[in-house]
Structure formats: C-alpha cells, structure tokens
C-alpha cells in the first residue's frame, strides 16, 4: 500500500545530520538537534546590512540572556555557544550578560543579541509571535532577537543562526536589517497513555489518539504514546546504538492534557459522538481525520472548552434515528459516505474496520468498560484520513448490535464503501482494510449470539472473500497496535536482506523432513506484540524456522520489521503469511485489477527480499490465473490452505509444479496446546500427511510443511526433541523453508 499521507519529514536525518561545526556548539552529541531545512531569505543586493562583529563593526555588541535561567540550561548553553562561535570566527570579543539592569547589572544597550525570553520589550513581542515548536531570528532596529517557544528550541535557533550567518561569512558577521525568520524545529514527545478506568479512560485514550495522529501528520514534532509493556520495549529498542532514535531526546509529558496544552492550535474541530449510537464513534473518527479534529463526548468537550475555543464544533448527537435505512447505525455511515468518502476527502489507500463502542453490555458497553483496544490505535486512522466502519459481511442475517435492521442493510452499506474504493483504485493499487470484527456482533461466538448461524473463522474468511472482489486486502488483528503514526515515519527500511540457506540438501532414503512455518504474524498486533516476545526466546536459532509476516506492513512498522531482519539468526527465514502482501483470496481478484495486485505484491516482496508464499488462503485450489499471479512474486514456493466455506466443491490440489515453482499444501492440523499434543500431532502428520510420502524417489521418506500459530522457538525445540526421543530409529531432519521446497522439487521432477 502506497499511503499518500506517509511521505513526511525524514526523521532519521533529524537526529543524524546535525551540522557539527567546531565554532557552533562546543561538542556535537546525541542530544543536539538538527537545524531545519534551509529557508533563509536571500537579501536583495541593495538591502541594508547590520554588522554585528568583525570588520566594519561600529558598535560593540553583547549577548544577553535572562537572569532567571540557570547556568546549565539550554538557554545559557546556547548563549555561550553563540558567543564562542562568533568570537572564534571573527576574532571578536563579545561577552555575555544577563538582562538584570539593577544594582550590579549592565544597562540596556541598543546593541544587544537577545537569546531566549528576556525582560526586553523586543523579546516579549517576538515571543508572542511564536507557535508550537517554532523559533524566531529577528532584527529590531539594531538588536538581534533569537528566541523559541521552548528552552530546548533555543539550541535549534542558535545552530541555525551559526550555520547560516556565522559560518557562512568571512570577514564580518552581517545580517539584513529586515531579517525576520521563523523556523519550526522537531521535538519528540513521549506521552503517558490514558490511565484510570471506565469511560474516563476510553474518552481520554480516544482524544489522545486523535491528537497524536494530527500532530504526527501536521507537525515536524512527533508523539509517541507509552503505555508501558510492549510499546515501552519498542521505544527502548529503537533507542539502542545504531537505531533511528539513538540520538533523540524525548520530552516526557504526563498525558493528554499536557499534549493539548502544546498543540491546541493544531486542533481545527471537535467532533462530538452520540453514545446512544455507537457507530458514531467511527463516523466521528472519520470526520476528525479529515477536519483535524478530536473525537469527544459532549461532557469531555465541556471540560476542555476553553482550550479548544477556536475549534469548530461538529455535533453528531441526535442526528441518526434510522429514518433512511431503518437503522441508526447505517444512517450514520451513509451520512459519512455521502459527506466525506464520496466527496473524495478520505484516503483510498486505507479503510479502517474498527470496533465501535458497542459490546454485549450495550451501546456504550466498550466505553463504559474502559476497553481502549480499538481506541488507542485511532491515531493511524486520523493520520491517514481514513474512512472508519464496523459492519457485517453477511447478507443473510442481522447483526446482534442492530437486530431490528432489515437483513442485508449492514452488507449493503459495507459494499457501497467497497464499490467506491474499487472505482477509485482499480487503475492504481489495491487498498488495505485494517481491523477485525466483533465476534459477538457478527458470529455465533461460542453461543453468545443465538441470532447468528455463522461461526467466527467463517466470518473472518467472509470478510476476505468479500473485499478481495473489490480490490482490497485485509490486515486483521490490530487491537492495541500502538504508535503506528510514529513508527511509520522511519524511512530506512527500503530494502531488506533475507536469509538463504548455505547449502541445498539432497533427498535421502528413510528420512523425515520437517519444516516449521511460524505463522499468523501477518497483522499489526501479532507482529508488534506476539513476535516481540517470541523473538526474545533464548532457543531461537537452534532450529531453522520460517517466520510469516505481511511485507506490506513495511508501511506501518518499518523499523520493527527491519529490527527483526537485522537481529535474525542464520536459522531465521522470512516469508509472507496470509496470503502474500496482504490477506486476500487470489481466486476473487477481479480481472480488471489483476495486474495491479501482481505489481503490489512484487513491490513488497522485493522490498522484503521474499520469494516464498507458504500460506495462501482460498476456498478452492489455485487456478491457472492464480498460480500465474502468485508465482511471479513467489517463484521459490507456494503452499495453500483451502477451506470451502461456501460449499461449492472447493478442494485442495496435490503437490505439483507450476513451471519452475513448486506448489504444496500447508498442513493446518498441528495441535500446539501442549508439548504432548504437539508431539501427537507431529506423529499424525508424519504418518498420515497429505501428499507428503516420497516413495516415488526415496523410499521411506516424507516431507511436512507445518503451520504453527504464535508459539515460541523453545516450544518447537521441545516438541522435536520429544518426538525424536519417541522415535529413536527415525532419521528426523528439520529443514529451512527454502530447502523444503527444493526437496519437494527434487521429488516432483523425478
């Protein structure tokens, strides 16, 4: 997915490319900021110039800082660095003083360089002109004013002035008499997540996520929300030596209130959702993304009304009653479709399927319970200006959250969104649907929903079946996928390098070949959280393992995926997961978008250095066109899981060759609930595995490609060790996935 809103300032350069002049700051360390892009106005040839130091300086200037800042502050250090740089460059003798003019102080002079906030009138006027994370360099008559909206910003301003005016000249320090430059600098903020419980936690997390998305899109400064646990680990990881945040200093904020104090001017709207119509929390998120707004209840808005007094109020309360469709839920989505999506105001790269405020406890049940799983992630929707929905894929029953709607109403609204996206993207690239469904709303869910005839897995498959026909692909599990709008800023992972085996194996007699595919890291939360834990397993690297990830998540978590690649052992290999670069059914890809789906997958497979797709999901065996598609970007091996959810006679094809590409079945029967069950499953797979016996070429040998979901390397090692102990006379070899398909090719071609 090529996201149109992801092309932001290259943050890794902000901490790596600081121009380190010996005349600027006394040393160039990891905490020092990068000057902003050069937007210095070029004076006209006839413009009057003020000489501050060096040849032609008629008046002795002095550097002035506030009396009220301590000697170790950014302002004091900045003033000292500026003074030193000027004196070294022009052999001058500028000195530093404070703005105290009383007994023992220095009288105010017309020839001052004011650094930071001082008691001088010119400083005060400049400070009033500052926005968030901005600095000003301004000549006022004969005074030079250098100030910033925060003490740390002074360092940016001083660096900028040294680079563009001190280092850029030879005999004298001259500046235009009309100099009035305003620059924006980058600050990284680490913000505490919403604490507490219940509705207050939900409401704060929702507003915080919206503000984070706006700031990370619109400002050079960036916001990282830290809730502890997994996202704290990732922040620490990315600060390690050699990683993109190594030289970045984060300013810590206690939470939403402090972040809003800084960035209230970025908020152009407040979107008030109706707690009686849970779908409006999604509609409000759509509106917030387009309008640079915060989603709030009315009560929360009143709490922050004074801080948000310049924001437009968009009130969704008492707007939707089912007058148009018989469903308040669908009326709300149709309003958003007509006023935002179909007017071209929303992204056509990303569709967000986020659970709304409803749960089994009622319209505001998720909010009342403080469940922020699908709230903390909304920075990504706002950042991308994505359309947000929560609708059923079934056209044969009403959902539990809206049981009185006409059957098929949800489905009709859902497909209207998909039809629009299909029309907008059919000549460019497929779009991603990110998010999962509420089990209880749209499926039986273990008997919680007696209105449904559909189980949970078929419901997941139905979503993919539907969107695949409309040029879409799925990114399923995304709850608690923190800071997507932050991690996506990293642009270093443009070309990764995957492992390849050192040798190609030859088939042997009486050998049990096992290949373990560590599956289901194809969506953001498993990649972000589950794999993080399994990657730290002490036994990773003992056995060759294939790790399935979704390569198009390089748009979302590029730094995290790069981390996995860079810390892989020689026994760790990466492949795609379900189904390739995104979860889709190849048989459902329309002819008119076939080429762009191929191009999409080729792009991401090449970036991730992948050539194998071992878990293609569909409802029937791959036909000629599907094999042609998949083999173009996964020429070294294809494997499928076929489940005929619709009862249309779909079946699994035997292992075979499509041109030079080996194709197989991925065994989906492995029971990993315990080591004992794993061993029993392995015995069953080896003895009765489908199309795995290699008697045609090597007697007594077999090949098994086994799907393992969210288990650790230690677990696999224990299962294999126990299996070998139970079968001491059996030659068991665990092979990497490249050699698996190589061995399969040897068998099929002989």
256-308, pLDDT tens digit by residue?
Answer: 999 999 999 999 999 999 999 999 999 999 999 999 999 999 999 999 999 99
Question: What is the spatial distance between Cα 595 and Cα 279, in angstroms, rounded to a whole number?
Answer: 36
Nearest to 559 by CA among 337, 170, 317, 240: 240
559-595, pLDDT tens digit by residue?
Answer: 999 999 999 999 999 999 999 999 999 999 999 999 9
Question: What is the spatial distance between Cα 726 and Cα 507, in angstroms, rounded to a whole number?
Answer: 23
Q: What is the pLDDT of residue 750?
A: 80
Question: DSSP labels for 155-172?
Answer: HHHHHHHIIIIITT-SSE
Provide the 3-class DSSP secondary structure of residue 19.
coil
Instruction: Find tokens 């280092």 and name the residue.
Output: 167
Q: Which residues contact 299 (CB under 8 A, 6 or more apart)?
A: none
User: In degrees rounded to 5, what are phi and psi of residue 474?
Assistant: -110, 145
Predicted TM-score of the model (pTM): 0.89
590-624, pLDDT tens digit by residue?
Answer: 999 999 999 999 999 999 999 999 999 999 999 99
What is the CATH number that goes with domain 511-748?
3.20.20.490
Domain boundaries, the chain: 11-184, 267-487, 511-748
Q: What is the pLDDT of residue 44?
A: 63
Q: Is the pLDDT of residue 11 over 50?
A: no
Q: Is the pLDDT of residue 28 over 60?
A: no
Q: Which residues contact 522 (CB under 8 A, 6 or more apart)?
A: 475, 476, 548, 549, 550, 553, 576, 577, 578, 583
User: In degrees rounded to 5, what are phi and psi of residue 380?
Assistant: -70, -40
Q: Which two tokens stand for residue 400?
A: 């539990």
Question: What is the spatial distance between Cα 304 and Cα 207, in angstroms, rounded to a whole number?
Answer: 11
Q: What is the pLDDT of residue 687?
A: 84
102-116, pLDDT tens digit by residue?
Answer: 998 999 999 999 999
Question: What is the spatial distance between Cα 639 and Cα 473, in angstroms, rounded to a whole number?
Answer: 19
Q: What does the mean pLDDT of the chain come to?
A: 92
Assign domain 11-184 to its CATH architecture: 2-Layer Sandwich (3.30)
Residue 692: which pLDDT band, with cuts at 50, 70 and 90? Answer: low
Q: What is the pLDDT of residue 37?
A: 55
Q: What is the pLDDT of residue 169?
A: 82
Nearest to 502 by CA among 556, 574, 552, 573: 573
Share of the chain above pLDDT 70, in %: 93
- In what helix (H) or strand (E) does residue 312 lie, and over which residues does it extend? strand 312-315
Question: What is the spatial distance between Cα 63 and Cα 75, in angstroms, rounded to a whole number?
Answer: 11
364-393, pLDDT tens digit by residue?
Answer: 999 999 999 999 999 999 999 999 999 999
Pairing of strands 134-140, 180-184: antiparallel
Residue 229: which pLDDT band, with cuts at 50, 70 and 90? Answer: confident
List, in sequence order, every residue forming a beta bridge with 187; answer none if it has no partner: none
Question: What is the spatial distance between Cα 129 and Cα 135, in angstroms, rounded to a whole number?
Answer: 9
Q: Which two tokens stand for residue 347?
A: 């992204």
Instruction: Find tokens 């619709």 and name the residue.
Output: 646
113-172, pLDDT tens digit by residue?
Answer: 999 999 999 999 999 999 999 999 999 999 999 999 988 899 999 999 999 999 988 899
630-688, pLDDT tens digit by residue?
Answer: 999 999 999 999 999 999 999 999 999 999 999 999 999 999 999 999 999 999 998 87
Q: What is the pLDDT of residue 42?
A: 64
List, in sequence order, every residue forming a beta bridge with 641; answer none if it has no partner: 617
Nearest to 491 by CA among 544, 540, 562, 588: 562
Question: What is the spatial distance between Cα 290 and Cα 385, in angstroms, rounded to a whole number?
Answer: 5
430-457, pLDDT tens digit by residue?
Answer: 999 999 999 999 999 988 988 899 999 9
Question: DSSP labels for 490-550?
Answer: ----SS------SS-----TTEEEEEEEEEEE-SHHIIIIIHHHHHT-TTTTSS-EEEEE-
First to last CA, the chain: 41
Buried b (16+ CB within 10 A) or exposed e, 220-236: bbbbbbbbeebbeebbe
Question: What is the spatial distance between Cα 408 and Cα 428, in angstroms, rounded to a whole number?
Answer: 30
Q: Is the pLDDT of residue 59 over 60?
A: yes
Nearest to 382 by CA among 354, 344, 421, 419: 354
Region for 673 from its dihedrals, namely left if φ exceeds 0, alpha if ψ lies in -120 to 50, beta otherwise: alpha
Q: Is the pLDDT of residue 690 over 80?
A: no
């Amino acid at each position: 997915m090529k996201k149109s809103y992801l092309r932001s300032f290259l943050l890794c350069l902000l901490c790596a490319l600081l121009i380190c002049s010996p005349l600027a700051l006394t040393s160039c360390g990891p905490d020092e900021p990068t000057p902003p892009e050069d937007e210095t106005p070029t004076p006209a040839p006839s413009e009057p110039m003020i000489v501050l130091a060096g040849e032609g300086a008629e008046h002795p200037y002095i550097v002035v800082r506030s009396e009220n800042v301590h000697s170790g502050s950014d302002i004091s250090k900045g003033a000292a660095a500026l003074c030193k740089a000027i004196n070294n460059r022009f052999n001058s003798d500028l000195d530093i003083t404070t703005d105290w003019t009383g007994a023992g102080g220095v009288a105010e002079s017309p020839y001052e360089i004011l650094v930071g906030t001082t008691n001088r009138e010119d400083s005060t006027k400049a400070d009033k002109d500052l926005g968030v994370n901005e600095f000003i360099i301004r000549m006022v008559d004969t005074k030079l004013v250098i100030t910033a909206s925060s003490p740390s910003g002074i360092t940016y301003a001083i660096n900028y002035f040294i680079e563009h005016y001190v280092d850029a000249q030879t005999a004298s320090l001259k500046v235009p008499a009309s100099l009035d430059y305003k620059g924006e600098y980058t600050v990284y903020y680490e913000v505490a997540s919403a604490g507490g419980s219940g509705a207050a936690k939900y409401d704060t997390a929702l507003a915080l996520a919206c503000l984070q998305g706006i700031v990370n899109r619109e400002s050079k400064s960036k916001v990282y929300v830290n809730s502890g646990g997994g996202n704290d680990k990732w922040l620490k990881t990315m600060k390690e030596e050699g990683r993109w945040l190594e030289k970045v200093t984060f300013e810590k904020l206690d939470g939403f209130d402090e972040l809003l104090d800084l960035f209230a001017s970025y908020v152009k709207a407040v979107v008030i959702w109706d707690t009686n119509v849970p779908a409006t929390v999604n509609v409000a998120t759509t509106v917030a993304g387009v309008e640079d707004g915060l989603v709030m209840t009315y009560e929360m808005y009143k709490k922050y009304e004074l801080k948000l007094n310049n924001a437009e109020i968009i009130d969704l309360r008492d707007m939707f009653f089912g007058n148009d469709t018989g469903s308040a839920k669908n009326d709300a989505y149709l309003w958003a479709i007509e006023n935002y999506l179909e007017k071209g105001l929303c992204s056509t790269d990303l569709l967000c399927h986020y659970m709304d405020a409803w749960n089994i406890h009622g319209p505001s049940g998720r909010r009342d319970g403080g469940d922020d799983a699908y709230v903390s992630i909304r920075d990504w929707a706002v950042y991308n200006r994505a359309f947000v929905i929560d609708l059923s894929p079934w056209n044969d029953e009403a959902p539990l959250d809206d049981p009185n709607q006409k059957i098929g109403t949800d489905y009709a609204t859902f497909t209207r969104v998909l039809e629009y996206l299909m029309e907008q993207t059919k000549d460019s690239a497929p779009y991603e649907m990110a998010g999962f469904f509420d089990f209880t709303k749209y499926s039986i869910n273990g008997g919680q929903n007696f209105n449904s005839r559909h189980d949970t897995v078929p419901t997941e498959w139905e979503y993919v079946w539907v969107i695949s026909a409309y040029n879409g692909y799925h990114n399923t599990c995304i709850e608690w996928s923190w800071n997507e709008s932050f991690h996506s800023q990293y642009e270093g992972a443009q070309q990764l390098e995957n492992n390849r085996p050192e040798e190609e194996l030859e088939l042997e007699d009486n050998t049990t070949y096992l290949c373990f595919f560590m599956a289901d890291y194809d969506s953001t939360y498993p990649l972000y959280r589950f794999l993080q834990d399994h990657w730290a397993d002490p036994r990773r690297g003992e056995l060759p393992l294939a790790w399935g990830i979704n390569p198009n998540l390089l748009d979302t978590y590029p730094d995290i995926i790069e981390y996995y690649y860079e810390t892989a052992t020689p026994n760790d290999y990466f492949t795609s997961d379900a189904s390739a670069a995104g979860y889709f059914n190849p048989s459902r890809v329309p002819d008119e978008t076939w080429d762009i789906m191929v191009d999409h997958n080729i792009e991401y497979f090449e970036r991730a250095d992948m050539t194998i797709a071992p878990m293609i999901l569909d409802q029937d065996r791959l036909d000629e066109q599907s094999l042609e598609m998949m083999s173009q970007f996964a020429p070294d091996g294809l494997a499928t899981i076929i489940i005929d959810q619709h009862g249309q006679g779909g079946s699994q094809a035997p292992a075979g060759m499509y041109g030079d590409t080996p194709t197989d079945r991925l065994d989906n029967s492995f029971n990993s609930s315990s080591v004992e069950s794993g061993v029993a499953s392995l015995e069953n797979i080896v003895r009765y595995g489908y199309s795995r016996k290699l008697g045609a070429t090597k007697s007594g040998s077999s090949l098994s490609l086994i799907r393992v979901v969210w288990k650790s390397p230690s677990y696999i090692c224990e299962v294999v060790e126990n299996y070998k102990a139970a079968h001491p006379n059996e030659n068991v070899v665990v092979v990497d996935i490249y050699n698996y398909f190589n061995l399969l090719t040897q068998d099929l071609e002989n």
